[in-house]
Structure 1
Amino acid sequence: MTIVTPIKEDYLKIIFELGGVHKKVSNKGIALSLGIAAGSVTEMITKLTEEKLVSHEPYASISLTKKGLRYATELVRKHRLWESFLVQKLHYDLPDVHPEAEVLEHETSDRLANSLDEFLQYPKYCPHGGVIPDSEGNFNDISHVSLADVEDGHVVTIERFIDNHELLIYLASTDLHINDEVKLEKHDPFEGPIQIIRLSDRAKMNISYKAAHNIFVHP
């Protein structure tokens, strides 16, 4: 019997977020998103591979198995339905919803999740742009191109932020929002900040190297 602990759940959710359904995810990407050492990621991925929750080729990258995807979509669905409820109905600020939803998702039955989904009129995306799977585990395609991967001079639209409490607090201080159209001005060397300009008001922003890997965009 597979016992999925809260730490394992965090890994499954972040692999889902980073695109581990349709593509391979790197150790580095997981480490950056969870804010932990690469060595810790390697150790946990070994455990998840043994439990057949992820597929991992030695010295290569990581993806969810069908079993892992089933766990991940259920967790993500419940978590993001609660985030949507907290923002839409209780008027929580975006940086404050993650810790609350983290608790609520574990106490939510499938019946309650379905009722909440209906009450919210079946949202497709959560307040920070993350996709919400339906009751059958289906969800819309999303971009897995990070802001850090965009070349200088290109214009993109901010699509979503990784579901990370510290990241959402940081982004609240930058005034960057979902659906903002931005031009990437410059990547500073040695993991320095990413310099962008929001086209609507010409506001200039410096986004940290770590945050830029956790912000996803589309052309």
Structure 2
Amino acid sequence: MTPMKEDYLKIIFELGGKSKKISNKQIAIGLNIAAGSVTEMVAKLVEEGLAEHTPYSGISLTEKGIEIAEIMVRKHRIWETFLVEKLGYKLSEVDDDAEVLEHVTSDRLLDSLDEFLGYPTHCPHGGVIPDKEGHYQEDSHTLLADVPEGKVVMVDRFIDNRELLNYLDEIDLDIGDKIQVMHHAPFEGPTTVKLIDNVSDTDERQISYKAAHYVFVQEVRPPINKR
């Protein structure tokens, strides 16, 4: 298994390819590569039984592909947690070094890191970390771009992409922020959101079309009124 194949499995998993079809375009943006180069690797993954491809629909992982992706995600996100919590890395800085480290990490080292960090369940950008036995709570796969106008949601996680994380840092959008989707501009325009917990009534953010497809959110349920 080459590092490149592992990276493909990882990004397909991160985008929700365990349970739904992911497009070549989504994979290309997530890996910062040309869309045309994805087709060849997708064919290899299908040939090796790691993925299933449906023409004009997309690609999803097989059980074998999911198992490998879970291991790689666990390694990558534990290293990200270590780099941020123990070495003071910024969130936008961790991906490159975590990418190198995950491919040379033994099971013993990984388990020791996990114990040292107190068995974290989520990485710094909100992604779930499978435990040693492969158990984990499923990530949210609801995209900000798909949220109806007027609805209130909470920012749950970001795709692990350096360009994206730098951009979100610049516009000051963080995990845990409660936002109301105000408007999706047509023709791949930005999504305008309003920060609910901010004291300012004018605190709005414009999030690019591309970024809105790599920010995942959870529904905010209204409080239950007790009599």
Q: Same fold (TM over 0.5)?
A: yes
Indicate conservation of the 8 Å contact 2:154/2:179, yes or no: yes
| Equivalence for 1:98 | 95
Indicate conservation of the 8 Å contact 1:32/1:213, yes or no: no
Cα root mean square deviation, aligned: 1.3
TM-score w.r.t. the length of structure 1 is: 0.94
Structure 1: unaligned runs, 5 residues or longer: none
1:13 shift after superposition: 0.8
1:33 aligns with 2:30: yes
Identical counterparts, % of pairs = 60
1:88 shift after superposition: 1.0
Match runs of 1:65-80 below 5 Å: 65-80=62-77
Q: Residue by residue, what CA displacement relative to the aligned partner does 1:102-123 show, whole Å, maximum 9, x if unpaired? A: 1111121011101111111111
* Partner Cα separation in structure 2 for residue 107 and residue 37 of structure 1: 27
Which of residues 168, 180, 183 is equivalent to 2:180? 183
1:159 shift after superposition: 0.2
* Partner Cα separation in structure 2 for residue 35 and residue 208 of structure 1: 16
| Equivalence for 1:57 | 54
Q: Residue by residue, what CA displacement relative to the aligned partner does 1:116-138 show, whole Å, maximum 9, x if unpaired? A: 11111111100000010111222
* Partner Cα separation in structure 1 for residue 216 and residue 31 of structure 2: 16
1:32 shift after superposition: 3.2
Question: How many residues were matched structurally?
Answer: 216
* Partner Cα separation in structure 2 for residue 103 and residue 33 of structure 1: 17
Which of residues 3, 8, 26 is equivalent to 1:6? 3
Which of residues 5, 13, 16 is equivalent to 2:13? 16
TM-score w.r.t. the length of structure 2 is: 0.91
| Equivalence for 2:165 | 168
Runs of 4+ deviating beyond 6 Å: none
The worse-fitting range, judged by mean Cα deviation, of 24-33 and 124-133 is 24-33
* Partner Cα separation in structure 2 for residue 194 and residue 59 of structure 1: 26
3-state DSSP of counterpart to 1:107: coil
One-letter identity of the residue aligned with 2:170: S
* Greater C-alpha Rg: 2
| Equivalence for 2:197 | 200
